[in-house]
Structure 1
Amino acid sequence: MTVAVAVSGGRDSLMALALLRRPERDLVAVHAQLADATPPEVLDGLRENCRVLDVPFQVLDLRSRFEELVIAPYVQSYLEGRTPNPCVWCNARIKFGLLLDAVREQGARTLATGHYARLIHTGHGPALWRGADPAKDQSYFLALLTPAQLARAVFPLADRRKQDVLPELERLGLAPPLPGESQEVCFIPDDYRDFLARRLTDRLLADFAPPGSIVLEDERTVGEHKGLWRYTIGQRKGLDVAWSEPLYVLRKDVTANRLVVGERTRLLSNACRLKSINFLVPPTAWPQDLRLQTRYRQRPESARLASPQETHSSPSETLTLTYPKTCEPTAPGQIGVIYSDEGQVLAGGVISS
């Protein structure tokens, strides 16, 4: 059985490759070029590490499809007033989409990555769980993978801790060509607003992202925004509005091109609505008490299904979860992941409100 290992040039994917190397196992290391052409020195470093491990190495150019399936939708989401999470879609559409398809066509049965997450294969299919390192767990970014995709996935770093990876690589004589930490969004080297400004033409800015009014909930105008795409829900800094109390972005009225702001108490919510649900566990098997995580660097909140009877009888494309106490909301377009108390991923979906 051949296992393909996606290697980016960083320490985690290189550690995954080293952990899987066994005399009885056929491995192939695959590097996907995504946003830009990979620098020659990074490719040379990957080839050298694969030579040390005696593993074949190949490069796949997925730049045009990455633009089509990740970058373009990312830009469009901002123009439509949402705040997307491109890393989640990259995993679902590129790594365990196009890349998995490509290596399977070449004879590989599974694709391994350097994600810190755990898979347990059961008689009911693969179960996705949090990884052992609570500071690095990446199950959140994998929550939109389908059961069919997870059945072909391998996560060798499930039981590893991030702090131990580099010393272990040094012991093995391996040097990652990208030794630093990867940036959160691989195709944005700076602030996302600067990236969007470079991508948007003058015509797009005029037609879809013009300046407009900043208003209170009672419709009083208190300032002018520079384009709704420059703001996100909960933002306080950068509004340039003088007011007696700090003001926060409450919502974006795309139809009227207005940014609605208010005091922090108006920002809090006791519910979250998800759409486009990817169920990894049937809702009929869910516990009553759930954990909902709506940001990667967020402690999950206690939550319950708003209508458990209806949902359990017929899983739908939308779910509403309620919190026992009010919480700061996450912007529409972000990802909400539902966990059990023990850390199993039950479902993931796109936050709609």
Structure 2
Amino acid sequence: MGAHRVTMAVAVSGGMDSLLALALLREQGHDLLAVHGHFLPDGPDRARVVEGLAASCAALDVPFHALDLHREFEARVIVPFVNGYRAGLTPNPCALCNPHMKFGVLFDAARELGADAIATGHYVRMEERAPFGRLLVRGDDKGKDQSYFLALVPLEILRVSHFPLAGVRKRKVPAILKRHGLTPPLSGESQEICFVLDDDYHAFLQARGAMPGPGPMTLADGTAVGEHGGLWRYTQGQRRGLKVAWREPLYVLGKDVAANTLIVGPKRELDAPGCVAGEVNLMSDPESWPDEVLVQTRYRQRARPCRVEHAEGKLVIHFLEPQGRPTPGQVVAVYTADGAVLAGGIIEASLD
């Protein structure tokens, strides 16, 4: 008997990147099926997206499956997003969607359809890196690299994942699609949070039920300087919108959720020596990490040198150069000097 031929499920959203991933893999001769996960309830674009994807898949002779996963998306992404804000955090729903939905529920459904592996249009690659083995690595287009958003996906899933856009430059995608005779049903870039209309997350959260109310705004030493409008309205490092007069500009330093207090201070107090992260997703044994690694605490941020300890299921990160306080609820990604992901986690607090 011959070796088992791998069937690859390609997650197609309706946008350019995932459609190009499908076309490139088809060109390479892989056994494919396309899966489109509909994560939101019926909307004006749903029928158009499904019809457009079905037509493209028919042109490529790839079986297409549209899956209604909006209840799973509500439970695994939207509810934690709302609860995170209620708890005083600033959660990152895209980073949760990848492990829970695209590489979780959607891949599980694809496996039931006969898939052995999954492919997406993310700008990343999987690569052998001694002594760690096969790891997630930044894509060639550094302006579009999405390894930060995949840092919470378990390694065993990533090792059966394929990323055909690893070496592609985003600016070239429309022309490549045109050469393949393909038009994505969604032509524009997706908005920041797919389920928040016009990126107005304040309106979205208020529509989801009662949010925590006003409370005191104080300096770190407890000096009262005003009142906040609800901790969920503010994020770490924020300056605008505090609506308080003080002898120097004030920034959000942190939140005391138990006391419903917003802690603010001057810019010189924004830096922190490090942070602690939980919900850790290890890609390799921390014992094998170099003494100095690079750490990224926001998507649009240069990864910076740090020392990292893994203790009691947490990452304790010590910055080696001045850095603003990371935002609780956001993702932290730990990299090697050459762009391989060693671990990911969710920021819990800054170090004092």
1:232 aligns with 2:235: yes
1:320 to 299, 312, 316: 316
Can you list the C-alpha shifts for 1:210-238, whole angstroms capped at 9, x where unaligned? 11111112222221111110111111000
Can you list the C-alpha shifts for 1:162-181, whole angstroms capped at 9, x where unaligned? 01111100111100111111
Aligned positions of 1:115-264 closer than 5 A: 115-120=122-127, 126-189=134-197, 190-200=199-209, 204-205=210-211, 209-264=212-267
Question: How high is the TM-score relative to the length of structure 1?
Answer: 0.93
C-alpha separation in 2, matches of 1:121 and 1:292? 20
Q: Summarize the Cα distance change of 1:298–1:23 in structure 2 as closer, same or farther, 3 Å threshold.
A: closer
Equivalent position SS for 1:325: coil
C-alpha separation in 1, matches of 2:157 and 2:129? 15
C-alpha separation in 2, matches of 1:61 and 1:195? 22
Q: CA RMSD in A?
A: 1.5
C-alpha separation in 2, matches of 1:89 and 1:346? 18
Can you list the C-alpha shifts for 1:130-149, whole angstroms capped at 9, x where unaligned? 00100000000111111211
Aligned to 2:23: 18
Given that 2:251 and 2:270 are in contact with CA atoms closer than 8 Å, whether structure 1 keeps it comes out as: yes
Can you list the C-alpha shifts for 1:4-44, whole angstroms capped at 9, x where unaligned? 11100000000000010047432111110002335211211
Given that 2:139 and 2:167 are in contact with CA atoms closer than 8 Å, whether structure 1 keeps it comes out as: yes
Structure 1: segments with no counterpart, 5+ residues: none
1:352 to 306, 330, 348: 348
C-alpha separation in 1, matches of 2:153 and 2:133? 13
Q: Summarize the Cα distance change of 1:96–1:350 in structure 2 as closer, same or farther, 3 Å threshold.
A: same
1:285 to 270, 288, 293: 288
Given that 1:126 and 1:150 are in contact with CA atoms closer than 8 Å, whether structure 2 keeps it comes out as: no
Question: How high is the TM-score relative to the length of structure 2?
Answer: 0.93
Given that 1:125 and 1:151 are in contact with CA atoms closer than 8 Å, whether structure 2 keeps it comes out as: no
Q: Summarize the Cα distance change of 1:27–1:253 in structure 2 as closer, same or farther, 3 Å threshold.
A: same
1:31 to 36, 46, 55: 36
Aligned to 2:338: 342
Instruction: State the shift of 1:105 in Å.
Output: 1.3
- Comparing 7-16 with 118-127, greater Cα deviation is found at 118-127
C-alpha separation in 2, matches of 1:236 and 1:13? 37
C-alpha separation in 1, matches of 2:91 and 2:55? 36
1:266 to 252, 263, 269: 269
2:307 to 276, 287, 304: 304
Structure 2: segments with no counterpart, 5+ residues: 1-5
Q: What is the identity, as a one-letter code, of the residue corresponding to 2:342?
A: L
Can you list the C-alpha shifts for 1:235-287, whole angstroms capped at 9, x where unaligned? 10001001111100111111111111110111111212111211101112211
Q: Summarize the Cα distance change of 1:61–1:217 in structure 2 as closer, same or farther, 3 Å threshold.
A: same
Aligned positions of 1:89-104 closer than 5 A: 89-104=96-111
Can you list the C-alpha shifts for 1:27-81, whole angstroms capped at 9, x where unaligned? 1111100023352112111112112211111100000010000000000001011
Equivalent position SS for 2:101: helix
Identity across the alignment (%): 50
- Comparing 37-46 with 262-271, greater Cα deviation is found at 37-46
Instruction: State the shift of 1:324 in Å.
Output: 2.0
Given that 2:253 and 2:325 are in contact with CA atoms closer than 8 Å, whether structure 1 keeps it comes out as: no
Given that 2:26 and 2:32 are in contact with CA atoms closer than 8 Å, whether structure 1 keeps it comes out as: yes
Equivalent position SS for 2:167: coil
Equivalent position SS for 2:173: helix
